[in-house]
C-alpha cells in the first residue's frame, strides 16, 4: 500500500509522457503522482512498462519538468471537488476556478473514475424533452433521461444548436445543468459563460472545461470529472441533471493522442485500439436512477463528413436520439441544417409519442423522401414534366423544408431576426395544415424563418402594404 510518502524519480521524458523509476513497489495504474517542485505537477499513471517503472501522463506540465525530479506517490487517483458551491462557477479538471473569481472553498472530493450504475438501479423515463426547435421536436424528439447526439462536420452549426438548446431548455429546466467543454476553443467557453450569465441561468449551472490548448491527458479526463460532479447532484442531492457536452469527438481524439504517446499500435483509421471501451466508460455513466434523472445532449464532430468514421459509429450506438446536420442544407441557407431523413430517435414510435405526432411525423418524412427521389427527374427534365400529384408533393416538401428553418435566440445579434421557441403542439398543427394544402397559393419563401404558420398572415399584410 502507498502511504503517500514514497518517492520516485523521473527517468525519461517524451512530450507529456514521463517514466518514473521506483525502487520499492510501483503505484497502481490510475494513481495520481505529484512532483516535488514549484509549481507542483500532476501525473496520472497510465501503464507499467517494467518492474521498476511507472509511465504516466503529465496533466499540467511546466518549465520545472526535468530528469531526476522527485515524484511523490499519493496512493489515490485523480479527484474533483463536489458540492453546491460549484453552481455558477467555471472550473478545470482539478476543480480549480478559471472564471477569475475566488476559489469555491473547501468541499469534499470524489475520484473521477466512477463506475456505471448497475442495471437494476437504472430508470427509463420515456418522456419527450421538448426543445422548442421544430425540426428536432417533430422528427427526432429527445428522451428525458436519454442521450442525444448532434452529428456534423466543421461549420454546420453544432455549437450554435447546443447554445440554443441551453437558452431554450435551461431556463425551463427545474434541475441543475452541467456543461462540459472537451477540447474546444477558449473563445467559445468565454462566449458561453457570458450568454448563460445574460440568460440568468448561471446560478443553476456548473461549467467544466478542458480546452484545446491543454494536454491530451486533461482533455481525456475532463469528461469523467464533469460526470463525477453530475453524479453528485443526481445521487446525493437527488436533483435532475442536464449534461451538455461539446465535443465528444475531442474526447476520442485525446484518447488517440494518449494511446500514441504510450506507444500502442493504432487500430482502424489511426484510432486507439481501446476506442470502444473508453467511450463506453464515459457514456455508460450517463443514466437516470431512482434518485434523479440525467439527460445528456452531446455535440459530435464528424471528420470529413464521413459518418462511417469509427468515432461517429461508436458514438451512435450509445444514443437514444441522433440529430444529423447536413452541409448541403447549410449551403442552401436552411438553418438549423438538420437532415430530416438521416436524423433518428427511438422515441418516434406509436407508444412513446401521441398517435397524432407519429402520423404527422411519418407524413412529413414521406413527403420529404418522395421529393428527394424526384430531384434527379426535376434536374434533368424540369418541374413541368412531373405529374400534377408529384408537383403537389414537391410544393408541400419545399414549404415544409423552409418551415423547419427557425430563427434562434443565440444568433439574434448576427441575423437581426428575433428568436422563436415553438411548442410541439404548434409545430404539429402547422405541419398538418401544410400537408393538407391549406397554403397552396403561398410561395415557399414565405415559410422561411418563421415560428408557426400563423405568422404567414402578418407577412402577407406586410407584403400588401409594401
Residue numbers annotated as active site: 158, 184-185
Strand 53-58 and strand 42-50: the pairing is antiparallel
Under DSSP, the state recorded for 133 is: -
Q: Which of 336, 337, 335, 399 is nearest to 367 (CA)?
A: 399
Is the separation of the CB atoms in 90 and 27 below 8 Å?
A: no
Burial (0-12, 13-18, 19+ Cβ within 10 Å), 14: exposed
What is the phi-psi region of residue 282: left when phi exceeds 0, alpha when psi lies from -120 to 50, beta otherwise? alpha
The phi, psi pair for 297, rounded to 5°, reads -125, 125
Residue 20, C-beta contacts closer than 8 angstroms, at least 6 positions apart: 8, 9, 10, 11, 33, 43, 53, 54, 55, 56, 71
C-alpha cell at 173: 429546466
What is the phi-psi region of residue 437: left when phi exceeds 0, alpha when psi lies from -120 to 50, beta otherwise?
left
C-alpha cell at 297: 445532449
Q: If 0-12 CB within 10 Å is exposed, 13-18 middle and 19+ buried, where does residue 149 land?
A: buried
The DSSP secondary-structure symbol of 304 reads: G
Integer angstrom CA distances of residue 195 from 2, 170, 203, 322: 46, 12, 13, 26
- On whether the CB atoms of residues 11 and 21 are closer than 8 A, the answer is yes
First to last CA, the chain: 82
Between CA 232 and CA 230 the distance in angstroms is 5
From the number of C-beta atoms within 10 Å of its C-beta (0-12, 13-18, 19+), residue 370 rates as middle
For residue 336, whether the previous peptide bond is cis, meaning omega lies within 30 degrees of 0, is yes
CB atoms within 10 A of CB 51: 8
**Torsion sign over Cα 198, 200, 203, 209:** negative
Amino acid at each position: 500500500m502507498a502511504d503517500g510518502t514514497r518517492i520516485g524519480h523521473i527517468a525519461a521524458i517524451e512530450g507529456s509522457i514521463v517514466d518514473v523509476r521506483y525502487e520499492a513497489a510501483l503505484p497502481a495504474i490510475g494513481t495520481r503522482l505529484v512532483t516535488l517542485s514549484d509549481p507542483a505537477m500532476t501525473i496520472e499513471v497510465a501503464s507499467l512498462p517494467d518492474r521498476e517503472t511507472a509511465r504516466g501522463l503529465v496533466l499540467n506540465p511546466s518549465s520545472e519538468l526535468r530528469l531526476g525530479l522527485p515524484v511523490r506517490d499519493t496512493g489515490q487517483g485523480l479527484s474533483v471537488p463536489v458540492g453546491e458551491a460549484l453552481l455558477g462557477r467555471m472550473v478545470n479538471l482539478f476543480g480549480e476556478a478559471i472564471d477569475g473569481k475566488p476559489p469555491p472553498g473547501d468541499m469534499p472530493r470524489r475520484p473521477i473514475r466512477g463506475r456505471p450504475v448497475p442495471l437494476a438501479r437504472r430508470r427509463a423515463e420515456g418522456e419527450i424533452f421538448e426543445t422548442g426547435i421544430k425540426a428536432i421536436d417533430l422528427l427526432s424528439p429527445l428522451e428525458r433521461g436519454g442521450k442525444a447526439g448532434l452529428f456534423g462536420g466543421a461549420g454546420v452549426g453544432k455549437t450554435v444548436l447546443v447554445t440554443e438548446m441551453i437558452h431554450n431548455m435551461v431556463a425551463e429546466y427545474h434541475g441543475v445543468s452541467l456543461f462540459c467543454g472537451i477540447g474546444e476553443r477558449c473563445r467559445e467557453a468565454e462566449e458561453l459563460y457570458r450568454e448563460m450569465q445574460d440568460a440568468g441561468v448561471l446560478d443553476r449551472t456548473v461549467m467544466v472545461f478542458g480546452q484545446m490548448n491543454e494536454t491530451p491527458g486533461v482533455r481525456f479526463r475532463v469528461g469523467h470529472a464533469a460526470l463525477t460532479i453530475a453524479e453528485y447532484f443526481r445521487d446525493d442531492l437527488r436533483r435532475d441533471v442536464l449534461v451538455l457536452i461539446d465535443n465528444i469527438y475531442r474526447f476520442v481524439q485525446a484518447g488517440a493522442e494518449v494511446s500514441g504517446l504510450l506507444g500502442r499500435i493504432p487500430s482502424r483509421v489511426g484510432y486507439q485500439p481501446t476506442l470502444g471501451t473508453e467511450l463506453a466508460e464515459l457514456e455508460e455513466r450517463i443514466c437516470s436512477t431512482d434518485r434523479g434523472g440525467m439527460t445528456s445532449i452531446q455535440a459530435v464532430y464528424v471528420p470529413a463528413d464521413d459518418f462511417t468514421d469509427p468515432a461517429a459509429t461508436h458514438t451512435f450506438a450509445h444514443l437514444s436520439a441522433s440529430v444529423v446536420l447536413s452541409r448541403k442544407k447549410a449551403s442552401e441557407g436552411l438553418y438549423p441544417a438538420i437532415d430530416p431523413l438521416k436524423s433518428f430517435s427511438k422515441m418516434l414510435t406509436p407508444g412513446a409519442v401521441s398517435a397524432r405526432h407519429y402520423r404527422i411525423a411519418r407524413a412529413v418524412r414521406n413527403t420529404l423522401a418522395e421529393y428527394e427521389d424526384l430531384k434527379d427527374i426535376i434536374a434533368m427534365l424540369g418541374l413541368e414534366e412531373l405529374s400534377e400529384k408529384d408537383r403537389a408533393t414537391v410544393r408541400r416538401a419545399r414549404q415544409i423544408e423552409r418551415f423547419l428553418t427557425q430563427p434562434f435566440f443565440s444568433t439574434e445579434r448576427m441575423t437581426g431576426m428575433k428568436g422563436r421557441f415553438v411548442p410541439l403542439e404548434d409545430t404539429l398543427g402547422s405541419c398538418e395544415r401544410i400537408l393538407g394544402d391549406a397554403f397552396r397559393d403561398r410561395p415557399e419563401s414565405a415559410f422561411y424563418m418563421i415560428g408557426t404558420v400563423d405568422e404567414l398572415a402578418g407577412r402577407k399584410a406586410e407584403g400588401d402594404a409594401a
